[in-house]
């Protein structure tokens, strides 16, 4: 029920209300109409729908269908269904087409995505190449600047200059003046220019005789000297161009009797007048060398045959000199020729081990009988003999062997001469004792002599057997070639008056120093005394790409002897040959390359250092820029070889690749060598030999040699890291696969070759290693032939031989680099190292090489070299030296 209330305004009708009230009433009426009208309409329509719905519901019955609907037959229904199926098929076909188009679009999208990734990688690759090229350009600009700024260009070898005239006839003042001869006063240097080639002229011994009638030169010496000089490039047949004239005096074959030190002219076999009549004597004998090679049995006394002869300005070379007649730095003391024809060979040498042998000190000799009072033993000499005899009764564990009386076989040699002592026994018996001696006692000759054949001969025998010489009275004598050989590293010199200190002194020398001296004994004996004849990589900027440039060669020919002459004669050198470069060439101090000596140096960050980016732009280090050569040994594995060479493409600092084709069958003429950006040279070996791995070939133009097998697989970063490490250890083998020699605990007297995991190694295999080219020369020119023969016999062990050689020379172990991520070529044909007999042969090689060397030079090391910053956490804006090393 509604209640209606009528509101009346005092002013009358609603239209008389205020305007805002009228608007409110109008809006309200409109809203009421808008709301009510849809409601009435919905109610009406709902009634109609219900009525129609009832009719429709009833129409589901076929009886109630209209007539027209009953007229629809089955055929029409089938047509309708078919039409519906056609529409369905069409829709499905369109859906399949749309799905196919969708798949194609997705594939295109994926292809575009891959293209985008490839373009990104290519962009990175090109960016890396661009950076490399930028570095290369910068390096080339630096090299150009150095070439323009250098004050002195590389010196060319001077023109060869030799004299073309005979010695002018001049007269020499007197024999007194000849005794004062020195090189600056008696030698004509004008005939020996720097470029003359040091020509030597040999007087034919059979035509130019300077001996008295009834004397003759030993035929063996004449033949040997001719043969030795026949292979010498300095020999000349033109006396006009000669620098020196060699006169063979040799050893007179006539027996020496009634020798008296006071009447030395009785033993002289030299005809002074014949000497002055030599065809090119020139009046004073300048630049002549009188060569007196003693070869006689050391039990025969000898003297200075030139003591009563005026030799003018000629140089005397012999074993026996008196203090009065010897001219320092002019005459030359040599050892007698004691070895068999061709020289002693390595079999004559005993082993260097053990350090302490059966006897601590030995001596075999006899004091010569003396009838005259002035030749009686002095008080000091008697004391020395008594003290030595007392050592035979020592209560220590040391054993001595002294023989002061010889057998009757030596009685005929007991004549007074320059030697106070005569040898006892035969050469073989003395050798047997010396091989069991740690030290060998040698007595100096009487005070009138500075050197004798017996003294030098005893020294020779001691060195040959590895017995360290102890020279009693060593303060008054000189040994052979002492101008250049540091004998104090070989022998012990003890004054006579210090005989009581002898035992104590020898006991204070530790085993390490005994072996060090014995090794030096072996070096000196072999070199100077044994013979008279000479014999797809990770994208990483690893460095600039530069054209090949050779390592400097023969730059120290004339300064080497001045600055490192002693090392050349006593350590690593060979004074009879010139090599392009040596691994021991000195380095400049660090600041020199920034203060006037920086030519060729490439300091990292121009001297400021830096991380990986700056590191990859320059070699740095302590030596100037250089490159390396890959020396690759192969045998009929062409595809393996080509793959190995192809992997070197784009390798920075690569000078060239030298392939040693180690097969009698030449490579296929149609073989196409890959283009790697560096020259590839192929050398056909004369025969199949693993020794060919170390051929000192002419086309090896760099000091650094990377020796690799044809199936070795090394990444670029591994190779370059090995190269950088080798530059800091130029005298050692630096490489990847490490091995070691293990003591055979079962036999207790031999070594085993071992490749098991170990915390020590003593060898780095040369199938993947850097080494200096100098060692290739030494392998063929210095290493005993017996070792190379053994390599050919087993077709194995050349890498062990090279490790023996380098360790013997340097007395240092090799250097292993990195953990060797990759090495062998997967899928390559079987190599020799996989044969069952391979290791057995290598066991035998180590023991045989030890026998040849007299000891085992291999030394163990317990570390390897890894890159700086490899395991260091660095800021995100910095780069490691190598990403994976």
CB 703 within 8 A of CB 772: yes
Q: How many CB atoms lie within 10 A of CB 730?
A: 21
In a domain, 54, yes or no: no
In 216-270, the DSSP E strands lie at 244-248
Biggest CA pair distance of the chain: 187
How far is it, in rounded angstroms, from Cα 559 to Cα 564? 8
Q: Alpha helix locations (H) across 150-292?
A: 175-178, 183-186, 219-230, 272-276
β-sheet bridge partners, residue 252: 217
Question: Do 455 and 491 lie in a common domain?
Answer: yes
Q: At 105, is the pLDDT very low, low, confident or very high (cuts 50, 70, 90)? A: very high
Is the per-residue pLDDT at 538 higher than 90? no
Catalytic residues: 799
- Percent helix, strand, coil in the chain, to 5, is 40, 15, 50
Q: Alpha helix locations (H) across 744-836?
A: 774-781, 785-794, 798-810
CB 858 within 8 A of CB 762: yes
In a domain, 536, yes or no: no
Is the per-residue pLDDT at 346 higher than 50? no
Question: Do 328 and 393 lie in a common domain?
Answer: no
How far is it, in rounded angstroms, from Cα 89 to Cα 112? 34
Mean pLDDT of 14-39: 62
> Which residues are CB-contacts of 399 (< 8 A; sequence separation ≥ 6)?
358, 359, 360
Token match 């300048």: residue? 286
Mean pLDDT of 518-523: 90
Q: Which of 3-17, 218-232, 640-654, 719-733 has the lowest mean pLDDT?
A: 3-17
Mean pLDDT of 21-35: 67
pLDDT in tens, 453-487: 899 999 999 999 999 999 999 999 999 999 989 99
CB 254 within 8 A of CB 275: no
pLDDT in tens, 606-626: 888 888 888 888 899 999 999
pTM over 0.85: no
| CATH code, domain carrying 768 | 3.90.550.10
Question: Do 422 and 301 lie in a common domain?
Answer: no
Given this model, what pLDDT does residue 427 score? 78
Q: At 441, is the pLDDT very low, low, confident or very high (cuts 50, 70, 90)? A: very high
In a domain, 408, yes or no: yes
- Angle between the 785-794 and 798-810 helix axes, to the nearest 10 degrees? 150
In a domain, 181, yes or no: yes
Given this model, what pLDDT does residue 206 score? 79
Element (H, E) at 251: none
How far is it, in rounded angstroms, from Cα 804 to Cα 787? 10
Q: At 708, is the pLDDT very low, low, confident or very high (cuts 50, 70, 90)? A: very high
CA nearest to 884, candidates 752, 718, 750, 740: 718
Q: What is the DSSP string of 617-635?
A: H---SSS----EEEEEEES
Q: What is the DSSP string of 306-372?
A: TTTS--TTPEEEES-EETTT--TTTSEE-----SPTT---GGGSPP--SSS-SEEEEEEEEEPP--S
β-sheet bridge partners, residue 421: 367
Q: Which long-range contacts (CB under 8 A, 24 or more apart) does 861-866 make?
A: 861/760, 861/761, 861/762, 861/813, 861/814, 861/815, 861/816, 862/759, 862/760, 864/738, 864/815, 864/816, 864/817, 864/818, 864/819, 865/725, 865/734, 865/815, 865/816, 865/817, 865/818, 866/817, 866/818, 866/819
Last residue of a domain, which of 529, 544, 566? 529
In a domain, 284, yes or no: yes
Given this model, what pLDDT does residue 46 score? 60
Is the per-residue pLDDT at 787 higher than 70? yes
Query: What is the percentage of the chain residues whose pLDDT exceeds 90?
Result: 41
The total of structural domains in the chain comes to 4
How far is it, in rounded angstroms, from Cα 623 to Cα 733? 18
CB 438 within 8 A of CB 484: no
Given this model, what pLDDT does residue 70 score? 52
Q: Length of the chain in residues, anyone?
A: 885
Question: Do 505 and 372 lie in a common domain?
Answer: yes
Is the per-residue pLDDT at 419 higher than 60? no
Is the per-residue pLDDT at 789 higher than 90? yes
Q: At 10, is the pLDDT very low, low, confident or very high (cuts 50, 70, 90)? A: very low
Is the per-residue pLDDT at 173 higher than 90? no
Last residue of a domain, which of 476, 498, 529? 529
How far is it, in rounded angstroms, from Cα 735 to Cα 817? 6
Is the per-residue pLDDT at 442 higher than 90? yes
Given this model, what pLDDT does residue 310 score? 86
Q: Which of 403-407, 488-492, 513-517, 618-622 has the lowest mean pLDDT?
A: 403-407
CA nearest to 221, candidates 319, 295, 272: 295
Question: Do 325 and 396 lie in a common domain?
Answer: no
Given this model, what pLDDT does residue 6 score? 42
In a domain, 813, yes or no: yes
| Torsions phi, psi for 322 (to 5 deg) | -95, 160
Question: Do 703 and 733 lie in a common domain?
Answer: yes
How far is it, in rounded angstroms, from Cα 612 to Cα 542? 9
Query: What is the percentage of the chain residues whose pLDDT exceeds 70?
Result: 80
How far is it, in rounded angstroms, from Cα 674 to Cα 676? 6
CB 712 within 8 A of CB 824: yes
β-sheet bridge partners, residue 244: 200
CA nearest to 361, candidates 388, 383, 393: 388
CB 590 within 8 A of CB 604: no
How far is it, in rounded angstroms, from Cα 664 to Cα 635? 9
Question: Do 806 and 747 lie in a common domain?
Answer: yes
Q: Which of 142-151, 478-487, 664-673, 817-826 has the lowest mean pLDDT?
A: 817-826
Question: Do 454 and 311 lie in a common domain?
Answer: no
Q: Give residue 581's Cα distance to chain centre.
A: 12
CA nearest to 739, candidates 851, 631, 846: 846
CA distances from 636 to 446, 602, 663, 666, 711 (A): 68, 41, 7, 9, 12
Last residue of a domain, which of 334, 368, 398? 334
CB 286 within 8 A of CB 245: no
Question: Do 90 and 171 lie in a common domain?
Answer: no
The C-alpha angle with vertex 353 and arms to 350 and 354, in degrees rounded to 5, equals 125
CA nearest to 307, candidates 328, 323, 287: 323
Given this model, what pLDDT does residue 300 score? 52
How far is it, in rounded angstroms, from Cα 209 to Cα 706? 56
In a domain, 620, yes or no: no
Domain assignment of residue 325, given as a range? 159-334
DSSP code of residue 844: H
Question: Do 238 and 373 lie in a common domain?
Answer: no
Rounded to the nearest integer, the mean pLDDT of the chain is 82
Written as six digits, the tokens of 195 are 């470029």
Question: Do 204 and 311 lie in a common domain?
Answer: yes
Mean pLDDT of 305-314: 86
pLDDT: which is higher, 510 or 43? 510
In a domain, 585, yes or no: no
Question: Do 186 and 128 lie in a common domain?
Answer: no
Q: At 372, is the pLDDT very low, low, confident or very high (cuts 50, 70, 90)? A: very low
Q: At 348, is the pLDDT very low, low, confident or very high (cuts 50, 70, 90)? A: very low
């Amino acid at each position: 029920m509604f209640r209606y209330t009528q509101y009346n305004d005092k002013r009358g009708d609603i239209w008389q209300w205020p305007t805002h009230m009228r608007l409110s009433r109008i809006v309200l009426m409109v809203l009421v109409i808008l709301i009510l009208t849809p409601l009435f309409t919905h109610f009406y329509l709902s009634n109609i729908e219900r009525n129609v719905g009832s009719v429709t519901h009833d129409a589901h019955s076929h009886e109630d269908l209209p007539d027209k609907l009953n007229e629809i037959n089955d055929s029409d229904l089938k047509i309708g269904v078919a039409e519906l199926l056609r529409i369905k098929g069409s829709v499905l076909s369109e859906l399949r087409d749309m799905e196919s188009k969708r798949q194609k679009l997705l594939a295109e999208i994926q292809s575009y995505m891959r293209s985008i990734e490839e373009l990104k990688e290519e962009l990175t690759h090109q960016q890396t190449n661009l950076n490399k090229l930028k570095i290369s350009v910068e390096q080339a600009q630096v090299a150009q600047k150095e070439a323009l700024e250098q004050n002195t260009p590389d010196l060319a070898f001077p023109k060869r200059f030799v004299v073309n005239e005979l010695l002018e006839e001049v007269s020499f003042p007197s024999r007194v003046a000849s005794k004062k001869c020195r090189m600056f006063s008696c030698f004509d240097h004008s005939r020996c220019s720097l470029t003359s080639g040091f020509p030597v002229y040999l007087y034919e011994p059979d035509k130019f005789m300077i001996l008295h009638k009834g004397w003759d030169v030993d035929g063996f010496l004449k033949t040997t000297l001719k043969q030795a000089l026949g292979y010498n490039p300095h020999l000349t047949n033109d006396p006009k161009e000669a620098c020196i004239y060699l006169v063979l005096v040799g050893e007179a074959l006539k027996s020496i009797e009634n020798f008296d030190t006071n009447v030395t002219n009785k033993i002289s076999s030299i005809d002074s007048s014949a000497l002055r009549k030599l065809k090119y004597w020139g009046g004073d004998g300048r630049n002549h060398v009188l060569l007196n090679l003693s070869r006689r049995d050391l039990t025969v006394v000898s003297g200075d045959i030139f003591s009563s002869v005026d030799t003018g300005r000629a140089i005397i070379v012999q074993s026996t000199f008196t203090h009065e007649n010897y001219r320092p730095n002019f005459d030359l003391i040599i050892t007698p020729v004691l070895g068999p024809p061709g020289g002693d060979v390595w079999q004559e040498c005993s082993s260097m081990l053990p350090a302490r042998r059966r006897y601590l000190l030995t001596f075999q000799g006899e004091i010569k009988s003396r009838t005259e009072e002035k030749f009686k033993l002095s008080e000091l000499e008697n004391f020395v003999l008594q003290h030595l005899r007392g050592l035979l009764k020592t209560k220590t564990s040391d054993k001595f062997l002294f023989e002061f009386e010889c057998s009757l076989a030596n009685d005929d040699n007991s004549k007074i001469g320059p030697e106070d002592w005569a040898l006892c026994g035969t050469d073989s018996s003395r050798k047997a004792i010396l091989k069991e001696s740690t030290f060998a006692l040698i007595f100096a000759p009487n005070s009138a002599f500075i050197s004798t054949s017996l003294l030098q001969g005893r020294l020779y025998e001691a060195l040959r057997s590895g017995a360290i010489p102890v020279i009693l009275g060593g303060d008054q004598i000189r040994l052979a070639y002492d101008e250049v050989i540091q004998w104090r590293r070989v022998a012990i010199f003890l004054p006579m008056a210090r005989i009581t200190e002898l035992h104590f002194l020898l006991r204070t020398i530790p085993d390490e120093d005994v072996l060090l001296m014995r090794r030096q004994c072996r070096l000196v004996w072999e070199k100077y005394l044994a013979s008279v004849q000479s014999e797809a990589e990770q994208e990483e900027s690893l460095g600039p790409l530069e054209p090949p440039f050779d390592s400097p060669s023969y730059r120290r020919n004339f300064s080497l002897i001045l600055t490192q002459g002693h090392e050349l004669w006593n350590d690593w050198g060979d004074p009879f040959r010139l090599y392009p470069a040596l691994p021991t060439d000195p380095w400049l101090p660090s600041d020199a390359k920034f203060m006037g000596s920086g030519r060729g140096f490439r300091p990292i960050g121009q001297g400021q250092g830096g991380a990986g980016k700056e590191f990859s732009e320059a070699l740095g280090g302590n030596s100037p820029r250089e490159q390396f050569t890959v020396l690759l040994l192969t045998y009929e594995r062409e595809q393996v070889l080509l793959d190995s060479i192809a992997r070197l493409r784009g390798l920075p600092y690569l000078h060239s690749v030298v392939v040693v084709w180690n097969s009698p069958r030449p490579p296929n003429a149609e073989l196409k060598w890959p283009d790697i950006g560096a020259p590839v040279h192929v050398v056909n070996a004369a025969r199949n030999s693993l020794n060919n791995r170390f051929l000192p070939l002419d086309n090896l133009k760099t000091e650094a040699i990377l020796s690799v097998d044809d199936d070795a697989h090394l990444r670029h970063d591994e190779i370059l890291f090995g190269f950088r490490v080798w530059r800091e250890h130029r005298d050692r083998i630096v490489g990847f696969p490490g091995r070691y020699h293990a003591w055979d605990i079962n036999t207790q007297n031999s070594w085993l070759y071992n490749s098991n995991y170990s915390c020590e190694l003593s060898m780095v295999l040369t199938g993947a290693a850097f080494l200096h080219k100098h060692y290739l020369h030494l392998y063929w020119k210095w290493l005993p032939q017996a070792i190379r023969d053994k390599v050919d016999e087993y077709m194995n062990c050349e890498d062990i031989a090279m490790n023996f050689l380098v360790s013997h020379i340097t007395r240092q172990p090799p250097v292993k680099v990195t953990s060797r991520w990759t090495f062998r070529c997967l899928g390559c044909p079987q190599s020799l190292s996989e044969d069952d007999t391979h290791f057995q042969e290598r066991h035998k090689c180590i023991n045989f090489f030890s026998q040849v060397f007299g000891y085992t030079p291999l030394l163990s090391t317990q570390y390897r070299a890894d890159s700086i910053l490899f395991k260091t956490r660095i800021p995100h804006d910095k780069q490691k030296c190598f990403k994976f090393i």
